[in-house]
Amino acid sequence: MRWTTQGHILITGATQRVGLHCVEQLLEAGERVVITYRTEKPVVASLRELGVICLQADFSNPASIQMLVARLHRDVGPLRAIVHNASCWPVDNVPGVDLNTILDEVLAVHVRAPYLLNMQCEDLLRRGAQGWSDIVHLTDYVVEKGSVNHIAYAASKAALANMTLSFARRFAPQIKVNTLAPSLLMFNPEDDAAYRSKTLDKSVLGIEPGPGVVFDALSYLFDNSYMTGRELKLDGGRHIR
Ligand SMILES: NC(=O)c1ccc[n+]([C@@H]2O[C@H](COP(=O)([O-])OP(=O)(O)OC[C@H]3O[C@@H](n4cnc5c(N)ncnc54)[C@H](OP(=O)(O)O)[C@@H]3O)[C@@H](O)[C@H]2O)c1
């Protein structure tokens, strides 16, 4: 990793899986990291002991996002990057769950929170830039393909992908804005053998790559001076299967 920073790197929803892995790698590289978390878990205390600033925020609540923005200004200051990692993945047909609730939830997490954070932390990103600063939107392969069972989720991630274009134009040249669009990165513990096999078979590379491919891609984006408004696809070649 060649880049150096003068501000903190903010990763949302970073107490597990992909986000947590990126935090651990950034700490190893000597970076200063701030995360958001929704649920208080033991890992939050461990990260605080390692010097990570951990800010609680539930993105389904607009007031909570406003409090987060205020704390970023008051307690953190310049930002080298914002990585919009927080995500929820509800299916559309959970018995007894109102479809409005599902749509509201995915739009809140994947659209409203990134929109507000980008708009209201622009000053922090400009102050944290050393040459440039970065915004990275974590979307999903389904943005290009749609999804039969996660329609609301796919639509909200497509909106997030679109915001990459708008923010890249609005914030150039000092703040670069790009998308990472993964397909399978990590299975969930409850995924059974049949689901795993069917999912692995969707890409030509046929592996569960783990969170490291996201960190590698982040490092590439942070290093690169000539890429904005673009998308890196991390999908094992699903489109050519
Ligand atoms: N894992 C994959 O295979 C895969 C595939 C394609 C795309 N992606 C994308 O890659 C990113 C990382 O994936 P992941 O599997 O590591 O995610 P994950 O395990 O689902 O974790 C996402 C985090 O988002 C937080 N979150 C959810 N709802 C929230 C809310 N209302 N307010 C604030 N935080 C909220 C959760 O916080 P709490 O734990 O505190 O509740 C959780 O820690 C996501 O953007 C995902 O869409 C992942």
The CATH number given to whatever domain includes residue 175 is 3.40.50.720
* Residue 203, in any domain of the structure: yes
How confident is the model over 42-69, as pLDDT tens digits?
A: 999 999 999 999 999 999 999 999 999 9
* Nearest atom in ligand 1 to 20's CA: 16
* Residue 240, in any domain of the structure: no
How confident is the model at residue 2, as a pLDDT?
47
Ligand 1 atom 14, closest CA: 18
Mean pLDDT over 167-176 rounds to 98
31, pLDDT greater than 70: yes
Mean pLDDT over 10-32 rounds to 98
* Residue 3, in any domain of the structure: no
Ligand 1 atom 47, closest CA: 87
How confident is the model at residue 174, as a pLDDT?
96
How confident is the model at residue 94, as a pLDDT?
84
User: Is the separation of the CB atoms in 84 and 113 below 8 Å?
Assistant: yes
* Residue 241, in any domain of the structure: no
The binding-site residues of ligand 1, defined as CB within 6 angstroms of any ligand atom, are 13, 15-19, 37-39, 57-60, 85-88, 109, 138, 140, 182-186
Range of the domain at 97: 8-235
* Residue 87, in any domain of the structure: yes
**Host H or E run for residue 93:** none
Ligand 1 atom 42, closest CA: 13
Give the strands of the sheet with 8-11, arranged side by side.
53-56, 33-37, 8-11, 79-84, 133-138, 175-182, 231-234
Catalytic residue ranges:
153
pTM of whole model > 0.95?
yes
How confident is the model at residue 4, as a pLDDT?
52
How confident is the model over 214-241, as pLDDT tens digits?
A: 999 999 999 999 999 999 999 999 999 9
How confident is the model over 96-152, as pLDDT tens digits?
A: 889 999 999 999 999 999 999 999 999 999 999 888 999 999 999 999 999 999 999
Pairing, β 33-37 against β 53-56: parallel
Q: What is the count of structural domains for the chain? A: 1
Tokens representing 114 are 């990134």
How confident is the model over 35-45, as pLDDT tens digits?
A: 999 999 999 99
How confident is the model over 71-84, as pLDDT tens digits?
A: 999 999 999 999 99
164, pLDDT greater than 60: yes
CA distance 43 to 16: 8
Ligand 1 centroid to Cα of residue 12, in Å, is 9
Mean pLDDT over 83-98 rounds to 94
Ligand 1 pocket test, candidate residues 11, 12, 15, 18, most atoms within 8 A of CB: 18
* Residue 202, in any domain of the structure: yes
